Amino acid sequence: MHTPSNPFTDDDALHVQEDGGLLVDGGKITASGDFATLRTEYPEATITDLRGGVLLPGFIDTHVHYPQVRIIGGLGMPLLDWLDHVTLPEEARLSSDTYARAVARDFLHGLRCNGTTTALVFGSHYRSAVDVFFEEAAQTGLRTVAGQVVSDRMLRDELHTTPELAYSEGKALIERWHGVGRARYAVTPRFSLSASEGILDACAALMHEFPDVHFTSHINENVREVQTVKELFPGSLDYLDTYDRAGLLGRRSVLAHSVHTTDRELGQMAAHHCTAAHCPCSNSALGSGLFPLKRHLNAGVHVSMGTDVGGGTGFSMLKEGLQAYFMQQLLGEGGLPLTPAHLLYLSTRAGAQALDMQDQIGDFGVGKAFDAVWLRPPEGSTLDAILNHATSSSETLAALFANGTQADVARVWVGGDEVFARAGFKGSEVVQKQPPELVS
Ligand SMILES: Nc1nc2[nH]cnc2c(=O)[nH]1
Ligand SMILES: [Zn+2]
């Protein structure tokens, strides 16, 4: 199942192929269709038998923090208290490369065992911890868009930098990592609350010098945060304007949360072709608010989804999709009722568009990379029972979002390379030269 078009504008966006096949060559999809037909057309192809499960495009998480994997689940505090008491002390521990490497491994494992194949990752404030992250990411084969997080006020001294250092360290990281293997770079001021105009200008200088890097930050997440930003930037019209004035907004800009965004800001986000990364579990856990999805879409703002680990509650994009659905339900008249097709789109293709990678990933179209997650619930599990009795593909997809967890992820590929296999599902155990019924 995949969504090669946008279900918010196309009622037939969900494509389902029962007993389908994908021909993969050099990591890319070169043909697709009915399995029996493909088998006849390509009799020499090695067959990976994925019956008994559902194959989806790999999930794309467009907002997730690598230093926060070990503090997931700090409930009971609003954003600014949670940052002070839980998050920033942990982020300061990444001054040790040894600690950073262990955290990076935990983080990357969390992504791939949940079926996430591409992520836009908030890095560390420490340059060396960002190097460590890219080194470890290269080992896993995942696609990552990541960058050094920069701030120069309001956090804690050891996490602050200067505009000069932010520029020089950012430049060195971009030259070392951007476009190397599956890595890309994102210029990442933490949020305007912890950024002077000088540091936003340093970020803009990097984006001017390297026009194809990405930009990401937070926006309008929490009422106290929004009020503080207003006081810190008296010359700006609103929160978005603090980034806009610096020249940071464009097609590759992803702004996380956008819960309390005004109509003026939405209009400007649309005009700049920015993406809002919706993080429903985090918004619920930190009590940030109910994301106005309808207002974003009506204004023409592209929306993707992120787990926001560790403000969020885990790496599962299935859980994130379900929470997005819940929150729209809770908004009543103001909400947008979401179908399983919307949830799949938000978890996959919408993320590819946010990263301007829609020509390479996000669906199973011919020419796309084979980035995929095979969901196969353990035999005897409740989800297994539900799927065995589902009467339509839409029911199946709804059940995956409502019930699916990490335990249901059996195999994961990026560019045709297997990056995760659950015990009992290692590649060789299910790959045959010929399907069993042809063996005499
Ligand atoms: N959710 C979230 N919001 C932020 N705003 C600034 N930093 C953070 C963070 O780490 N998490
Ligand atoms: Zn965040």
The 10s digit of each residue's pLDDT in 169-184 is 999 999 999 999 999 9
pLDDT over 50 (residue 352): yes
Mean pLDDT of 289-303: 98
Q: What ligand is nearest to the CA atom of residue 193?
A: 1
The overall average pLDDT reported for the chain is 96
Q: Is 125 in the pocket of ligand 1 (CB under 6 A)?
A: no
pLDDT tens readout for residues 360-379: 999 999 999 999 999 999 99
Q: pLDDT band at 429, cuts 50/70/90?
A: very low
Whole-number Å distance between alpha carbons of 62 and 403: 22
Which architecture does CATH list for 20-54+362-438? Roll (2.30)
Whether omega before 58 lies within 30 degrees of 0, making that bond cis, reads no
pLDDT for the residue numbered 360: 98
pLDDT over 60 (residue 434): no
Whole-number Å distance between alpha carbons of 37 and 55: 19
* Ligand 1 atom at minimal distance to the Cα of residue 193: 6
pLDDT over 50 (residue 132): yes
**Residue 54 CB-half CA count within 13 A:** 26
Mean pLDDT of 245-254: 98
Q: Is 63 in the pocket of ligand 1 (CB under 6 A)?
A: no
Distances (CA, A) of 437 to 269, 433, 440: 55, 12, 8
**Count of CB atoms situated within 10 Å of the CB of 6:** 16
66, 80, 153, 218, best to mutate for ligand 1 pocket (most atoms within 8 Å of CB) = 218
Whole-number Å distance between alpha carbons of 363 and 371: 8
> Is domain 59-354 annotated with CATH 3.20.20.140?
yes
User: How much distance in Å is there from the Cα of 207 to the middle of ligand 2?
Assistant: 21
Q: Is 191 in the pocket of ligand 1 (CB under 6 A)?
A: yes
Mean pLDDT of 123-142: 98
pLDDT for the residue numbered 64: 99
pLDDT for the residue numbered 439: 42
User: How much distance in Å is there from the Cα of 107 to the middle of ligand 2?
Assistant: 15
Q: Is 218 in the pocket of ligand 1 (CB under 6 A)?
A: yes
64, 159, 190, best to mutate for ligand 1 pocket (most atoms within 8 Å of CB) = 190
Portions of the chain given CATH number 3.20.20.140: 59-354
Distances (CA, A) of 150 to 99, 255, 355: 20, 15, 20
Q: Enter the tokens of residue 198.
A: 């000088």
Position with higher pLDDT, 429 vs 419: 419
Sign of CA dihedral 90, 94, 99, 100: positive
Portions of the chain given CATH number 2.30.40.10: 20-54+362-438
Closest C-alpha residue for ligand 1 atom 4: 218
pLDDT for the residue numbered 427: 60
pLDDT tens readout for residues 3-48: 999 999 999 999 999 999 999 999 999 999 999 999 999 999 999 9
Enter the pTM of the model: 0.97
Lowest-pLDDT choice from 197-206, 284-293, 340-349, 419-428 = 419-428
Amino acid identity, position 279:
C
3-state secondary structure of 124: coil
Closest C-alpha residue for ligand 1 atom 7: 190
pLDDT over 80 (residue 406): yes
Whole-number Å distance between alpha carbons of 158 and 95: 9
* Ligand 1 atom at minimal distance to the Cα of residue 286: 1
User: How much distance in Å is there from the Cα of 18 to the middle of ligand 1?
Assistant: 41
Q: Report the run of H or E that residue 386 belongs to, with start and end.
A: helix 382-388
Q: pLDDT band at 133, cuts 50/70/90?
A: very high
- 405: nearest Cα among 114, 121, 164, 86: 114
* Ligand 1 atom at minimal distance to the Cα of residue 218: 5
Amino acid identity, position 427:
G
User: How much distance in Å is there from the Cα of 135 to the middle of ligand 2?
Assistant: 22
User: How much distance in Å is there from the Cα of 87 to the middle of ligand 1?
Assistant: 9
Closest C-alpha residue for ligand 1 atom 11: 311
User: How much distance in Å is there from the Cα of 17 to the middle of ligand 2?
Assistant: 36
Q: Is 221 in the pocket of ligand 1 (CB under 6 A)?
A: yes
Q: Is 308 in the pocket of ligand 1 (CB under 6 A)?
A: yes
ipTM: 0.99
The percent of residues in the chain predicted with pLDDT above 90, rounded, is 96
Give the single-character DSSP code of 378.
Answer: P
Distances (CA, A) of 314 to 24, 65, 98, 351: 31, 11, 23, 18
Q: Is 311 in the pocket of ligand 1 (CB under 6 A)?
A: yes
Whole-number Å distance between alpha carbons of 27 and 417: 7
68, 150, 216, 221, best to mutate for ligand 1 pocket (most atoms within 8 Å of CB) = 221
pLDDT over 50 (residue 436): no
User: How much distance in Å is there from the Cα of 109 to the middle of ligand 2?
Assistant: 19
User: How much distance in Å is there from the Cα of 218 to the middle of ligand 1?
Assistant: 7
**Pairing mode, strands 253-257 and 275-278:** parallel
Q: pLDDT band at 426, cuts 50/70/90?
A: confident
Q: pLDDT band at 440, cuts 50/70/90?
A: very low
Q: Is 62 in the pocket of ligand 1 (CB under 6 A)?
A: no
Mean pLDDT of 279-299: 98
